[in-house]
Structure 1
Amino acid sequence: MTSHSTVFLYGTLCDLTLLEIVAGEAVFASPATLGDHAVFWAKDQSFPIIVEADGETAEGILVEISAAAKARLDFYEVGFGYYLLPCTVVQGEAETAAEVYFAEPRRWTPGALWSLTDWQSKFGILTREAARDYIGLYANKTPQEAAQLFGQVRNRAASRLRARMSPSPSAFDPSPTREDVAIKSSHRPLMDFFDVVEETLQFQTFAGGRSNEVQRISLLGGDAVTVLPYDPATDQVLVIRQFRHGAFSRGDANPWCVEPAAGRIDPFETPEDAALRELREETGVVARDLHRIASYYPTPAAVSEHLTSFVATCDLSGKDGHIGGLAGENEDIMSHVIPFSLLMDLVQSGAANTGPLVLSALWLQNERHRLG
């Protein structure tokens, strides 16, 4: 006989669509309350905490879930410091014994009173999208290991949502769409800091038929930006160097690549916001103006990453030799301020060995006359 647990939920899992994604099965829920408690947003976060509050009443739902579903809910909650504790809730007129996910003491600070409706409006779509991938880590990660990867999972989910909302413009007619691809099988052989998807599929051919079944493997990464700083007063640019594992794994004897500043676009961030933030974090430079070059797939045959590249006009005085990056991300980034003419020499020699830098240099070669 399968055992069941009775759990009182008060936060994001009151969204029944999210709850069933996490639980992996249909869940029956009924309204319930927990006395002398209140639910608040965790300060500066997108989720709630429940705290003791005399005379207050926390509203939520009561669910009875299987052992398998409870294990999945534990996985979803424990990595972020939430643990089940026994309590007594009120369902209708009756008191019922249940368990509640309480946050570790002092881990999160209470903010404003929680609103499920506000959360659903602002964060619901992204959280549901991310949860479908996050729960896929259940098979091979501890809750704590998975929680360390949550930011990457969420960024990839945000990238998919951007792609759906703003697909690439069509260059030619007639133009096939995703509906013209038939997926026969799909699985994730690796889900970690990066994600890998392996699929067998057929796609529409230009002759009007279907391709043979083909196997394709892609590395999934979030959307990102690059930004090349340019000082029109001195006709200088700032490029960075940092260790790159891709170049190292290829066997390059010089895996410290020359690049523009770059980084992931956070959820709810625009590419422009991300470019300004990454420029400050990696180089200490504050941009005066941003000039968009293009948005593009650098390696669409096998990598989902989508880039937006910018040139930023700025004052580069005192920035040569700056060591930047976030210690929490193990970044070690050296800035070099060089004449624009030297940048073009680096492009010609191949020392400028990253695609976004070459693209940005060629754009700047044509456009810098108007940036002064």
Structure 2
Amino acid sequence: MKNLFVYGTLRHVPLLEAVLGKAAAEIEMAPATLEGHSVFAVKDQDFPIIKEREGAAQGLWLGNLSATDVARLEFYEGGFDYDLAPVEVSVEGANRPAQVFKSDAGWQPDGPWSLENWAQIYGALTVCSATEEMSYFGVKPRGEVDGMLPMIKARAIAQQLAAQGSLGESPGGMIRADVRDVSVTRAYAKYFTLDDYEMSFRRYDGTQSVAVQRAVFVATDAVIVLPYDPVRDRVLLIEQFRPGPFARGDDLPWQLEPIAGRIDANEAPQETARREAQEEAGLALGALHEVSKSYASPGCSTEFYHIYIAIADLPDEVVGVSGLEQEAEDIRSFLYSFEDLMQMTDEMKLVNAPLVLASLWLARHRDRLRASA
């Protein structure tokens, strides 16, 4: 059995529960102090580090941890380049031996760190991410999970956005609580994940359905943005290779589409729209107009779209080739007049559903946008 001292995010008890896989009542813990140390925020990160400095670091003493408990903590902290080091901490006035996670990864201290501020901004998202991360304990090596972390966080963001409530209309009156006896098995997990569900749902006659099995592709929330210049009355579209049409057997796997990208950690959809426009087309966007918040394919996928028309300055020289090299993006941009956009819509030449939806919204609101330009 081991004793550990935690000083950072693991002081947030819901996160500690997620990492150890047990309720707080089952964890032996007490407030503790580590003399000669201070806790600092890390520059451009959402976690802290501890350094030998004058002062005293506040934290939690975790007692009598099993080998599995320690292994779970090491698995989780391994994603942050931490290693265990021996220390002596003060617990209720008595000195006790313990170990603490320290890092020599060269993180840059960036002033004091506050658990309360962190929990308010990052707490719920981190717990959600950690729940998926720890589901791979004993299943996948830490290095493989490290490579999955951006998408794990993106899936957690999607769950947080879903928890804010749905704008959808449901005249039948059914809600989430009407789905019962749910069991989930993760059949595949890499960049994306695939879950096998077994569940029953309330029927319109008031009875409960038999158990049904459904496979769900677990994606992320994504932003779709169509840049529109109301002065020149034209839009910017991008073209890039897409593996989905290629896998279907389409002869044209290079797709004409709006700017798009997943919502990253601690980023609002509007911020994603502006970031992606800069990355994919070098564009600075003006006002964003909401087109739709909708599921891409609700019968089998969690993917959810936040679609916008963005006001932008689109001179002839704005087009070119761009994209992030680290993501192997090769994206070319094109300008189309509004009339050409509508003709392509009518002639079924636009095979990207969010683009068709945004184009039809633009047709409905174009006069208003032009009048206010």
Deviation at 1:212, TM superposition (A): 2.3
SS at match of 1:331: coil
User: Which whole-Å CA distance do the structure 1 matches of 2:344 and 2:70 have between them?
Assistant: 57
Q: 1:187 aligns with which of 185, 194, 197?
A: 185
Contact 2:79 2:146 (C-alpha < 8 Å) held by counterparts? yes
Percentage identity across paired residues of the two chains: 37
User: Which whole-Å CA distance do the structure 1 matches of 2:212 and 2:104 have between them?
Assistant: 49
Deviation at 1:295, TM superposition (A): 1.0
| Higher mean C-alpha displacement, 83-92 vs 110-119 | 83-92
Contact 1:284 1:319 (C-alpha < 8 Å) held by counterparts? no
What's the counterpart of residue 99 of structure 1?
99
| One-letter code aligned to 1:10 | Y
What's the counterpart of residue 81 of structure 2?
81
Deviation at 1:126, TM superposition (A): 1.5
What's the counterpart of residue 143 of structure 2?
144
Go from structure 1 to structure 2 and tell me whether the alpha carbon gap of 1:319 and 1:223 turns closer, same or farther (over 3 Å shift): farther
1:6 paired to 2:27: no
Deviation at 1:239, TM superposition (A): 0.6
Deviation at 1:112, TM superposition (A): 2.2
TM-score (norm 2): 0.92
Matches within 5 A, 1:275-294: 275-294=273-292
Contact 2:200 2:209 (C-alpha < 8 Å) held by counterparts? yes
| One-letter code aligned to 2:70 | K
Residue by residue, what CA displacement relative to the aligned partner does 1:236-290 show, whole Å, maximum 9, x if unpaired?
2111111212122212222111110011223443322221221122111112222
What's the counterpart of residue 210 of structure 2?
212
SS at match of 2:137: helix
User: Which whole-Å CA distance do the structure 2 matches of 1:85 and 1:105 have between them?
Assistant: 14
SS at match of 2:136: helix
Deviation at 1:180, TM superposition (A): 0.7
Residue by residue, what CA displacement relative to the aligned partner does 1:143-201 show, whole Å, maximum 9, x if unpaired?
232122222212212211221222233341x4100111113421111222212221111
| One-letter code aligned to 1:180 | D
What's the counterpart of residue 312 of structure 2?
314
What's the counterpart of residue 131 of structure 1?
130
Deviation at 1:320, TM superposition (A): 4.9
Deviation at 1:139, TM superposition (A): 3.2
What's the counterpart of residue 69 of structure 2?
69
Contact 2:75 2:137 (C-alpha < 8 Å) held by counterparts? yes
TM-score (norm 1): 0.93
| Higher mean C-alpha displacement, 84-93 vs 132-141 | 84-93
Residue by residue, what CA displacement relative to the aligned partner does 1:99-123 show, whole Å, maximum 9, x if unpaired?
21112241x2111212112222222
User: Which whole-Å CA distance do the structure 2 matches of 1:27 and 1:98 have between them?
Assistant: 15
Contact 2:81 2:105 (C-alpha < 8 Å) held by counterparts? no
User: Which whole-Å CA distance do the structure 2 matches of 1:332 and 1:80 have between them?
Assistant: 31
| One-letter code aligned to 1:111 | D
User: Which whole-Å CA distance do the structure 2 matches of 1:267 and 1:13 have between them?
Assistant: 19
Contact 1:80 1:144 (C-alpha < 8 Å) held by counterparts? no
What's the counterpart of residue 345 of structure 2?
347
SS at match of 2:290: strand
Go from structure 1 to structure 2 and tell me whether the alpha carbon gap of 1:319 and 1:192 turns closer, same or farther (over 3 Å shift): farther
Deviation at 1:359, TM superposition (A): 0.8
What's the counterpart of residue 19 of structure 2?
22
What's the counterpart of residue 111 of structure 2?
112
| One-letter code aligned to 1:56 | G
User: Which whole-Å CA distance do the structure 2 matches of 1:134 and 1:286 have between them?
Assistant: 35
User: Which whole-Å CA distance do the structure 2 matches of 1:84 and 1:319 have between them?
Assistant: 55
User: Which whole-Å CA distance do the structure 1 matches of 2:363 and 2:166 have between them?
Assistant: 29
Residue by residue, what CA displacement relative to the aligned partner does 1:223-245 show, whole Å, maximum 9, x if unpaired?
11111111122222111111212
SS at match of 2:261: strand
User: Which whole-Å CA distance do the structure 1 matches of 2:60 and 2:170 have between them?
Assistant: 50
| One-letter code aligned to 2:142 | P
Contact 1:290 1:310 (C-alpha < 8 Å) held by counterparts? yes
| Higher mean C-alpha displacement, 222-231 vs 321-330 | 321-330
| One-letter code aligned to 2:309 | V
1:43 paired to 2:43: yes
- Runs (5+) with no aligned partner, structure 1: none
| One-letter code aligned to 2:50 | I
Deviation at 1:354, TM superposition (A): 0.8
Deviation at 1:318, TM superposition (A): 4.3
CA RMSD in angstroms, aligned pairs only:
1.8
Go from structure 1 to structure 2 and tell me whether the alpha carbon gap of 1:138 and 1:273 turns closer, same or farther (over 3 Å shift): same
Go from structure 1 to structure 2 and tell me whether the alpha carbon gap of 1:139 and 1:256 turns closer, same or farther (over 3 Å shift): farther
User: Which whole-Å CA distance do the structure 2 matches of 1:252 and 1:321 have between them?
Assistant: 26
| One-letter code aligned to 2:249 | G
SS at match of 2:62: strand
What's the counterpart of residue 226 of structure 2?
228
Deviation at 1:319, TM superposition (A): 4.7
Residue by residue, what CA displacement relative to the aligned partner does 1:32-70 show, whole Å, maximum 9, x if unpaired?
2222110011122211111111x2111111213111111
Contact 2:281 2:319 (C-alpha < 8 Å) held by counterparts? no
User: Which whole-Å CA distance do the structure 2 matches of 1:320 and 1:336 have between them?
Assistant: 9
SS at match of 1:139: coil
Go from structure 1 to structure 2 and tell me whether the alpha carbon gap of 1:242 and 1:140 turns closer, same or farther (over 3 Å shift): farther
| One-letter code aligned to 1:14 | R
